[in-house]
Each structure stands twice: as C-alpha cells, then as structure tokens.
Amino acid sequence: MTKPTVTGVERVLDIFEAFQTSQRPLSLTDLAEITDIPKSTCHAITTTLANRGYMFSLNRPRALYPTKRMYDVAFDILKKDPFIERATPHLERLRDTTRETVILGKRQGDAVVYLHVVEGLHAIRYSAKTGEIKPMHSSSTGKALLGSLKEAEMRQWISEHTLTEITPATIVDPESLLSDLLRGRQLGYFQTRGENVNDVWALATALRVNKEAFAVAVAGPKHRIEMNIPETAHLLIATCSLLSNTLGD
C-alpha cells in the first residue's frame, strides 16, 4: 500500500539529502536535476530556506549550500529528548560490554526506524545511522517487534505482507518466518543472520516503556556475533529489562 506523502516536505528533504550525498555546493540547475524538482519550484524552496537562515548562496561559483542552522535545531531538539537522553547511558554500557554496535528501534507503520545508534568499538563494525528505515521481517529489531505482538496479530501481519528478499539470506517464506519468530519468543531474543545486510548478524529484544514497544539490537560481523551469542543475549536481555523498569513514568 502506498503511504500518503506531502510533496512539499519530501522536496525539502530531497534537497538536504542531495547536499548530504554530494557534500559540496550545488548550483540551482544541478540541485533541480539531482532532486528531479522543477527549477522554478526548487528556486522557491531554496529562497525560503535562505530567508529562514537554513541556506546561503555563493557567487563564485554560483551555488548554494546549507548553513549550520539545521544541525543546531536538530541538536537542540535531540539533547532534550527525554527518552533517548535517559536510555543512552544504558545503551552505551551495552556497547562497552559487547564492543558491538547497539541500536534502539521503534515500529513506524510497517517498518522500523532507528531512533538511536551507538557505534561499536571495533575498527571493523556494523555502521548504521539514526533515522534509517528497515524492513520488519529482515531486521533484528523488526523481528523483535513482530515477536512482541500477540500470536494472532503476528500471524496476520505475516499473511498480509510480502516478504521481500533484501539479501540471499532473507527469510521470504511465511511459515519459516513464523517459526523463526516463535523460536525467538521461546529464547527471549530474536536473531538475523545476514538477512538485512550481508555478513552482519544481530540479536534483538523488545521492551515496553509507558505501553510503547521498542527494540534494542546488538549487531556486528558474523564471525564475532556467532562466537558470543549466549553472552550477548544475556547482556541484551538484562539491558532491556533495566530500560523497561527505569524509563517509565
């Protein structure tokens, strides 16, 4: 099902993401071509952004580039986030003990959004970004959130959704996914084995805070996660239990 979107908002986001990708000033023509926005519309949007202090223009070369205002606004918002602010020390402690990347996720419609990512300490590690959207069926956080549903709801979700192959290891058979989720419920944690990113394994557990469902995952290269599953699962479950008990009202 196609989700409703607001075109104007999408175009503003496309413009900022174009600068993120290019990492250089862009002319209005280049920006319009990259984003596939009509030049007149692109000019109107960038003029508004410039008038609000989010963008500035260069004369030589004739180009545009964002100011630091968007960063400052986002930073001010995030540093006062009551949930993330309180959860971060626990997530960092889990990262320090496992030395792997730790992710906090929440269901967003039929996908998972990464609310916070604490990068692992190894030189070779799984890297992710806050705000990334991941499929429910192929990500460990998604599996944990699906597994936290009542069994009838879980079965209904699986029956109503196409299980797209993200990697060759993605579980695309409904019965196999159901069995995998039921096994995760018994173990107390859910696992992906290269199902979302090749050669990346992850463990995840769901938790509830003020009746809201979240999931925490520990992710890293297959060879390290595979060797430490029991210990990592124990630390993960303990962290989620602590978060659930301490972050409520």
Position 74 scores a pLDDT of 83
User: CB-hemisphere CA count at 13 Å for 121?
Assistant: 8
Residues paired with 114 in a beta bridge = 105
Position 247 scores a pLDDT of 80
Position 61 scores a pLDDT of 80
* pLDDT tens string 204-238: 999 998 888 999 999 999 999 999 999 999 999 99
Position 48 scores a pLDDT of 94
The CATH architecture of the domain made up of 7-72 is: Orthogonal Bundle (1.10)
**Domain parsing of the chain, residue ranges:** 7-72, 81-246
Percent of the chain residues topping a pLDDT of 90: 81
The Cβ of residue 43 has, within 10 Å, a number of other Cβ atoms equal to: 15
Q: Extract the tokens encoding 222.
A: 């297959």
Q: Which of 136, 139, 126 is nearest to 219 (CA)?
A: 126
Q: What is the mean pLDDT of residues 177-196?
A: 96
106 vs 13: CA distance, rounded Å: 21
Q: Is the distance from CB of 37 to CB of 11 less than 8 angstroms?
A: yes
> Is the confidence at residue 175, as pLDDT, over 50?
yes
Q: For 81-246, CATH number?
A: 3.30.450.40
> Is the confidence at residue 4, as pLDDT, over 60?
no
> Is the confidence at residue 249, as pLDDT, over 70?
no
Position 72 scores a pLDDT of 87
Q: Which of 207, 203, 198 is nearest to 232 (CA)?
A: 203
Place of tokens 């499929």: 135
Q: Which of 206, 153, 141, 203 is nearest to 178 (CA)?
A: 153
Host H or E run for residue 105: strand 101-108
Position 81 scores a pLDDT of 65
User: What's the whole-model pTM score?
Assistant: 0.74
Position 212 scores a pLDDT of 87
* pLDDT tens string 51-81: 999 999 988 788 999 999 988 888 787 766 6
73 vs 149: CA distance, rounded Å: 36
Position 184 scores a pLDDT of 97
Average pLDDT value over all residues in the chain: 92
Position 77 scores a pLDDT of 77
Q: How many residues does the chain have?
A: 249
Chain centroid to Cα 114, Å, comes to: 2
Query: Alpha helix locations (H) across the chain?
Result: 7-22, 28-35, 39-51, 69-79, 82-98, 140-147, 151-160, 174-187, 222-227, 229-246
* pLDDT tens string 120-135: 999 999 999 998 999 9
Q: Band the pLDDT of 1: cuts 50, 70, 90.
A: very low
Position 2 scores a pLDDT of 43
Position 3 scores a pLDDT of 52
235 vs 97: CA distance, rounded Å: 8
Position 76 scores a pLDDT of 81
